[in-house]
């Protein structure tokens, strides 16, 4: 896949073929739909002050090629956000519309963001999973991610 370009994947959704488009975020056009997806995603994707339009714009300007969405017929149905600091990667906000889960869309998004991180020279990446989301833990474990024994600390600045 070529960074910066749109690519198409044919998948079966609800017993009929529909084209799923996986592409980089269009900012600010996609912002409201993205927030709605995250709000409807259930446990695991929490909306905070770092998800304001201004903060998402900062992220988009830093790594636009790692900010991916999936859409069907113009509707955003999935997302994943990657980051790379030159040494380590971070993946967050993997979300798939609840009615479309279990059909491989999360796999497609993760495959692409991991591929893009590798292309940047990233050899190790991290992600965070909330305690109330065991389905996500199982999803990532099946993909080869390992649970680490550590404490996550945060501080609002």
CATH at residue 49: 3.40.630.30
Mean pLDDT score of the chain: 89
Classify residue 29: in a domain, yes or no: yes
- pLDDT tens track for 23-65: 999 999 999 999 999 999 888 888 999 999 999 999 999 999 9
* Number of structural domains found in the chain: 1
User: How many beta carbons lie within 10 A of that of residue 22, not counting itself?
Assistant: 21
* Tally of helices (H runs) and strands (E runs) in the chain: 4, 6
**Alpha-carbon separation of residue 133 from 42, 87, 89, 139, 142 (angstroms):** 9, 28, 21, 10, 15
Per-residue pLDDT averaged across 94-99, rounded? 94
Model confidence pLDDT, tens digit, residues 11-26: 444 444 678 899 999 9
Residue 91 lies inside a defined structural domain of this protein: yes
pLDDT band (50, 70, 90) for residue 9: low
């Amino acid at each position: 896949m070529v960074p910066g370009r749109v690519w198409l994947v044919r998948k079966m959704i609800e017993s009929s073929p529909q084209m799923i488009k996986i592409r980089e975020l269009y900012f600010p056009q996609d912002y409201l739909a993205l927030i709605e997806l995250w709000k409807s995603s259930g446990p695991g994707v929490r909306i905070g002050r770092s998800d304001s339009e201004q903060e998402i714009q900062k992220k988009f300007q830093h790594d636009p090629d790692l900010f991916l969405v999936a859409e069907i017929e113009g509707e955003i149905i999935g997302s994943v956000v990657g980051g790379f600091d030159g040494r380590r990667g971070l993946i967050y906000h993997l979300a798939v519309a609840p009615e479309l889960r279990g059909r491989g869309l999360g796999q497609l998004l993760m495959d692409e963001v991991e591929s893009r991180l590798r292309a940047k020279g990233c050899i190790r990446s991290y992600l965070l999973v909330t305690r109330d989301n065991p389905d996500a833990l199982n999803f990532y474990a099946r993909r080869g991610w390992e649970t680490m024994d550590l404490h996550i600390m945060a501080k609002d600045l």
